[in-house]
Amino acid sequence: MIEVNNLHKSFGNLHVLRGITTRIEQGSVVAVIGPSGCGKSTFLRCLNLLEKPTQGEIWIGNTQMTHPQTDVMKVRQKLGMVFQHFHLFPHMTVLENLTYAPMKVKGIPKGQAVAKAEELLARVGLADKAGTYPSRLSGGQKQRVAIARSLAMEPEVMLFDEPTSALDPEMVREVLDVMKALAHTGMTMIVVTHEMGFAREVADRICFFDQGQIAEDAAPAEFFRQPKSERAKQFLEKML
Amino acid sequence: MDFFAPIADRIPFIIQGIPATLQFTVLSVLFGFIWGTLLALLKISAIRPLGLLADVYTSIFRGTPLIVQISLVYYASPGLTDMLGLRPIDALTAGVLVFSLNSGAYVSETIRGGILAVDKGQRDAAMSLGIPYGAMMIDIIAPQALKNILPALLNETINVLKDTAQVSVIGVLEVLRRADVVAKEKFVFFQPYLIAAFIYYVMIMTMTLIASTYERRLRRSD
């Protein structure tokens, strides 16, 4: 489903990703964890080319994202992305946030887009907020809307970039619950997170990043019981 | 009202300058805004030479007095149009042209700042949804940028309106020029210019009122 070969990314002299190679199967949920500055977010942003890789190949299905002739706009639609700071469109209502891209980008008729949006809002428990502007929502509600907005484009993969890091503690639960429900539908998910409980419980795989490389790639049970590397051990001691 | 008695019969003549003043303002602000948007897009574009060109343009128009620009275009351009075998530009066209070019330079900086001030995450979100650049700029970035720069744009419009008084030097019969005419006709100076000042003030207050109503509407999403 997703294949990454020897991915490198530098910002000037800063070599953030130093050769990432991995395969992610359809329907799997991968938790990407690691200390700050290890390249987790950059890795995620490279997958849908929000950052342009310096070197290496990314394949999404049969499309090579990194090929110069690839229609990036087109393939980006296959990858939904949820950000730490939500990035809802503040001048649009919740419903408009969900219907804008499907109508504009995919040309879906308004009635159909609205029906789909309402269904998604119900799924994330916000059916009553359709006409509200984002500024009137709590952080947890904003993030759930952001998840619904991405799902409205019917992506094949969902990327989550620290989706709960900007939330007040009491709102983390509601967002994780929505993500858990999404995982149960068989959605392929890559989640950069500091929520070890979520990683342990929901993910099929843990990728532990360290200094721009995947230092460990293991099943959660294995990783959390017995991390192989010294760095992972230290990291877990701090987190748990 | 004895004070205004000496020019009472000529007050309507001064008032009749309002359409000319407004016409100048509206056309200049409109073209200036379009031109300024274009310049702003050049300035933020990835193609550096284009941005540089826009920067040089801005520095020239901000670095010379408006009245010099008006004089150059109106009095000096006939030489050029002659050479090209064209008709000389009339005062209205010259005025609007200079005001638009000038206002575009100022507005482009405002617009550029407004666009850059929109949270970078909005771009990330739009791109991740596969929204093309043009649609993103028009539907996502522009409304947010516009809301932020509305007070600055109003300011610019007021400046343009006041600056239109300077086209009186090239003989356009707008409010100030008409006050001039009356003053020289009747040999009373205080009253006609006072009337002119009052007319400008009322026009600007009306504009401010309209703009603040519109701004409130834009802010309903806050």
**Residue in A101, A133, A159 nearest the CB of B130:** A101
Q: Is the dihedral of CA A106, A108, A113, A116 positive or negative?
A: negative
Which chain A residues are closer than 8 Å to B130 by Cβ? 73-74, 76-77, 101, 105, 153
CB contact under 8 A, A87 and B222: no
* Calpha distance B89→B170 (Å, rounded): 12
Q: What is the pLDDT of residues B66-113, one digit of tens each?
A: 989 988 888 888 888 888 888 888 888 888 999 999 999 999 999 999
**Position of tokens 């484009």?**
A153
Burial class of A57 by CB neighbour count within 10 A (0 to 12, 13 to 18, 19+): middle
For residue B115, name the pLDDT band (cuts at 50, 70, 90): very high
Say how many Å lie between the first and final Cα of chain B, rounded.
49
**Residue in B121, B132, B135 nearest the CB of A83:** B121
**Residue in B130, B221, B222 nearest the CB of A105:** B130
Rg (CA), chain B: 21
Which chain A residues are closer than 8 Å to B120 by Cβ? none
pLDDT at B140: 96
Kindly state whether B147 is in contact with chain A, defined as any CB-CB distance less than 8 angstroms: yes
Kindly state whether B119 is in contact with chain A, defined as any CB-CB distance less than 8 angstroms: yes
CB contact under 8 A, A104 and B135: yes
Smallest Cα distance from B114 to chain A, Å: 15
Q: What is the DSSP letter of B90?
A: P
Pick from A102-106, A127-131, B7-11, B26-30: least confident: B7-11
Smallest Cα distance from A43 to chain B, Å: 14
Helices (H), chain A: 40-47, 72-76, 94-106, 110-123, 139-151, 169-184, 196-202, 220-225, 230-239
CB contact under 8 A, A101 and B139: no
Smallest Cα distance from B131 to chain A, Å: 6
Which chain A residues are closer than 8 Å to B124 by Cβ? 45, 50, 81, 83, 87
Strands A79-82 and A157-161: parallel
Residue B222 pLDDT greater than 80, yes or no: no
For the entire predicted model, the pTM comes to 0.84
* Calpha distance A76→B208 (Å, rounded): 44
Kindly state whether A48 is in contact with chain B, defined as any CB-CB distance less than 8 angstroms: yes
Residue B125 pLDDT greater than 90, yes or no: yes
Kindly state whether A153 is in contact with chain B, defined as any CB-CB distance less than 8 angstroms: yes
Indicate if ipTM > 0.95.
Answer: no
Q: What is the pLDDT of residues A133-142, one digit of tens each?
A: 999 999 999 9
Kindly state whether A182 is in contact with chain B, defined as any CB-CB distance less than 8 angstroms: no
Strands A63-64 and A55-60: antiparallel
Question: Average pLDDT of chain A?
Answer: 92
Strands A29-33 and A188-192: parallel
Tokens, residue B37: 């948007």
Q: Which of A143, A149, A126, A33 is nearest to A85 (CA)?
A: A143
pLDDT at B211: 83
pLDDT at B81: 81
Mean pLDDT of A108-134: 95
Smallest Cα distance from A148 to chain B, Å: 12
Strands A55-60 and A2-11: antiparallel
Kindly state whether A136 is in contact with chain B, defined as any CB-CB distance less than 8 angstroms: no
Contact indicator for B65, B73 with CB cutoff of 8 Å: no
Kindly state whether A143 is in contact with chain B, defined as any CB-CB distance less than 8 angstroms: no
Cα dihedral A211, A213, A215, A217, rounded to 10, equals: 140
CB contact under 8 A, B125 and A88: yes
Which residue in A has a C-alpha nearest to residue B121's C-alpha?
A: A87
Residue A5 pLDDT greater than 80, yes or no: yes
pLDDT at B221: 67
